[in-house]
Amino acid sequence: MPELPEVETIKNDLRRKIIGKKITEVEARSGKTIRGEKKKFIGILRGNRFGGIERIGKLLIFALGDGKNFLLVHLKMTGQLVFISGKEIIAGGHSFSARFPLPNKYSRVIFGFEKGEKLFFNDMRRFGYMEIVGKNGLEMVKNKYGIEPLSKEFKPEKLKEIFKNRRAPVKAALMNQKLIAGIGNIYADEILFAARVMPDRKAASLKDGEVKDIFSASRNILKKAVKRRGTTVSDYVDTSGGQGGFSKFLKVYGRRGEKCYRCARTVKSMKIAGRSANFCDKCQK
């Protein structure tokens, strides 16, 4: 699922691919994907250009050339943004990932640029959305997000403050977007394994050393995952349809019933905050 490293990868790639380009066509194949009025959405985008691209948490923010409007894109679980140039020959076969050729039955919104370039928003389960907001709307959205874990403002003391008086399991706190922006199920499991902390520990019960370990693990794992262009578990692909390279570094996520790489005991799982949490109860305390 796209979390911080995956969305960051998409942002960086799309900056090189679409900034400054004029949107000549907008095709909306799914009404549900577009929030607000579809006509207005298309009206604002057609003829406009993509300016800068930012990310906050798992949300992409495209500034438009008119200086007034912003396109928000959330991929939720199965969203993909795939860019193809006009000449590109789309090879078959990648059914697992990008489901080439494009468009396919999951292509919900398609942007056309000059010279035949296209950007596809594919989303099998239609949880993802696109929405146009103005400056005020953007501020309101931004205010809902907690600290960016890769920013320099994120420090061990800050994490300690976040965990203070919090009765929720530490895993729920890590995944709470209002507290920390961008961590989802995959990276929460990996961070807690690296920090050797059990996911069901109450956040407030953690000792300073454990908080520091979680802080360090967050930085290390998220940085490495960005460097490896994210994790592909099922649907995530980058803007070229390629898979994330962090998948082979996963230590516990999706490994329930398999042997822990550190101690060879069986990786366990339990439900926390309505989600599966994978862990090793020998390595994590």
Partner DNA sequence: AAGATTGTTGCTTA
Partner DNA sequence: TTAAGCAACAATCT
164 catalytic? Reply is no
Shortest distance, CB of residue 1 to DNA, whole angstroms?
4
Single out the residue of 18, 23, 59, 60 in contact with DNA (rule: CB under 7 A). 59
| Contact mark string toward DNA, 127..166, x via CB under 7 A | x----------------x---------------------x
Shortest distance, CB of residue 93 to DNA, whole angstroms?
15
Does residue 275 touch DNA according to CB under 7 A? yes
Find the distance separating the first CA and the last CA of the chain, reported in whole Å: 27
Catalytic-labelled residue, pool 58, 201, 251, 255: 58
Q: Residue 81's Cα: distance from chain center in Å?
A: 12
Is 77 buried (19+), middle (13-18) or exposed (0-12) by CB count in 10 A? middle
CA angle, residues 17, 86, 108, in degrees to nearest 5: 75
**Phi-psi region for residue 177, left (φ > 0), alpha (ψ -120 to 50) or beta?**
alpha
Stretch that binds DNA, among 9-17, 121-129, 131-139, 238-246 (CB under 7 A): 121-129
3 catalytic? Reply is yes
Catalytic-labelled residue, pool 3, 6, 117, 210: 3
Helix segments in the chain, DSSP class H:
4-18, 38-45, 135-142, 156-163, 170-175, 185-195, 208-227
Does residue 94 touch DNA according to CB under 7 A? no
275 catalytic? Reply is yes
Please choose, from the candidates 98, 33, 50, the residue with its C-alpha nearest in 3D space to the C-alpha of residue 243.
98
Does residue 107 touch DNA according to CB under 7 A? no
CA angle, residues 21, 58, 80, in degrees to nearest 5: 55
Residues at the site binding DNA, with contacts judged by CB under 7 A = 1, 3, 32, 57-59, 74, 76-77, 124-127, 144, 166-169, 172-173, 175-177, 184-186, 203, 233, 254, 269, 271, 273-276
Q: Cite the active site residues.
A: 2-3, 58, 275
